[in-house]
């Protein structure tokens, strides 16, 4: 177990370093950061030069990268020109909102997808299975931003049941969480159904039937429990996708989370904030995958010896 954890931790550190390098170079490939921060058409060459000097952009790229990596390791992510405060404070203020939104979306997806997937897998070919496959297909085919607009039109504009923008308690997260969850619902329904179809013909399931156990007991204690092992890794990946998908949802619903902050940073040419938010999202994804690997190894000890 210790060897497995050390190996996964080493891989995660390499991924984090790769993300650091990639973010640094990709931002600079988009153009001159000084020109991104101030309008080139209205800035004099002297002003552009002063901005480059202030950002340390006149130094060679390897020197810039070493300085940037050192600042990141110290927790210094720079200063946001759009929000007029340190980037670290901007991220810490927005992170709880995005985590709450993503967690609610994942809770909705699991609540809907797992029962449908288990029911469809236990009784293939029935109307229940057809319903599960239909939900899975619609979930993966429905654009998140389109569903968000439909939900706003129906429940906020016409029925006036829920707010359409901003944060005003948990009710403000209902529509965005449901819209954000639709893709995860489709993916998890199909995966759960496939896992159950594979497990239901195993020898230990036949043994359980021969003992006279009820279909509900077999489905809950044998099929669903073993199918959950296959879901662990996918749930971690889906949670990362939900964090990334929040960029669209938070912008549509004007929710001041990580996604909304990133959109504002791009619109306002906040080069420092874009770079830091991109790196933060990549780091969060790597850490989620690491946690998923650890949980998977606990649930299935065979993974540790591969």
- pLDDT band at 235; cut points 50, 70, 90: confident
Is residue 191 included in any domain, yes or no? yes
Is residue 243 included in any domain, yes or no? yes
Measured CA to CA, the distance from residue 275 to residue 26 in angstroms comes to 9
- Indicate the DSSP class of residue 164: S
Query: Does the pLDDT value for residue 306 go beyond 60?
Result: no
> Could you give the number of structural domains in the chain?
1
Is residue 128 included in any domain, yes or no? yes
Is residue 26 included in any domain, yes or no? no
List all residues 6 or more positions away from 85 whose beta carbon is below 8 Å from its beta carbon: 79
- 79-80 and 85-86 as β-strands: parallel, antiparallel, unpaired? antiparallel
What are the tens digits of pLDDT across the range 114-166?
888 888 877 788 888 888 888 888 888 888 888 888 988 988 888 888 887 77
Is residue 68 included in any domain, yes or no? no
For the record, the structure tokens of 290 come out as 């690491």
Is residue 135 included in any domain, yes or no? yes
What are the tens digits of pLDDT across the range 86-111?
888 888 888 888 889 888 998 999 89
Is residue 38 included in any domain, yes or no? no
Return the ∠ at Cα 115 (arms to 109 and 118), rounded to 5°.
Answer: 120
Whole domain around residue 111: which residue ranges? 96-268
Measured CA to CA, the distance from residue 3 to residue 83 in angstroms comes to 44
Is residue 212 included in any domain, yes or no? yes
- Indicate the DSSP class of residue 173: G
The CATH number given to whatever domain includes residue 135 is 1.10.3720.10
- pLDDT band at 187; cut points 50, 70, 90: confident
pLDDT at 256: 86
State how far the alpha carbon of 286 is from the alpha carbons of 11, 16, 193, 236, 280, in Å. 10, 7, 28, 10, 10
Task: Give phi and psi for 201, each to the nearest 5.
Answer: -100, 10
pTM: 0.79
Mean local confidence (pLDDT), 182-203: 82
Measured CA to CA, the distance from residue 112 to residue 288 in angstroms comes to 22
- pLDDT band at 220; cut points 50, 70, 90: low
């Amino acid at each position: 177990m210790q060897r497995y954890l050390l190996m996964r931790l080493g891989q995660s550190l390499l991924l984090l370093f790769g993300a650091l390098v990639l973010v640094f170079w990709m931002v600079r490939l988009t153009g001159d950061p000084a020109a991104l921060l101030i309008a080139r058409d209205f800035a004099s060459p002297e002003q552009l030069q002063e901005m480059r000097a202030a950002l340390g952009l006149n130094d060679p790229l390897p020197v810039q990268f070493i300085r940037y990596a050192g600042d990141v390791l110290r927790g210094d992510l720079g200063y946001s020109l759009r929000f007029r405060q340190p980037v670290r404070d901007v991220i810490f203020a927005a992170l709880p909102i995005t985590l709450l939104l993503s967690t609610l979306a994942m809770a909705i997806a699991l609540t809907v997808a797992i029962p449908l997937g288990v029911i469809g897998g236990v009784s293939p070919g029935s109307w229940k299975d057809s319903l599960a496959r239909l939900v899975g297909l619609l979930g993966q085919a429905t654009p998140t931003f389109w569903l968000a607009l439909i939900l706003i039109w129906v429940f906020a504009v016409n029925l006036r049941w829920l707010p359409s923008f901003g944060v005003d308690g948990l009710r403000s997260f209902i529509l965005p969480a449901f819209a954000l969850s639709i893709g995860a619902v489709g993916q998890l329904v199909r995966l759960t159904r496939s896992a159950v179809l594979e497990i239901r013909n195993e020898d230990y399931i036949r043994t359980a039937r021969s003992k006279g156990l009820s279909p509900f007991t077999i489905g809950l204690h044998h099929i669903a429990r073993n199918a959950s092992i296959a879901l662990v890794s996918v749930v971690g990946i889906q949670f990362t996708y939900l964090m990334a998908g929040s960029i669209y949802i938070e912008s549509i619903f004007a929710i001041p989370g990580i996604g909304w902050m990133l959109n504002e940073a791009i619109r306002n040419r906040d080069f420092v904030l874009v770079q830091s938010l991109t790196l933060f999202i990549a780091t969060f994804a790597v850490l989620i995958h690491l946690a998923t690997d650890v949980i998977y190894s606990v649930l299935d000890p065979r993974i540790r010896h591969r």
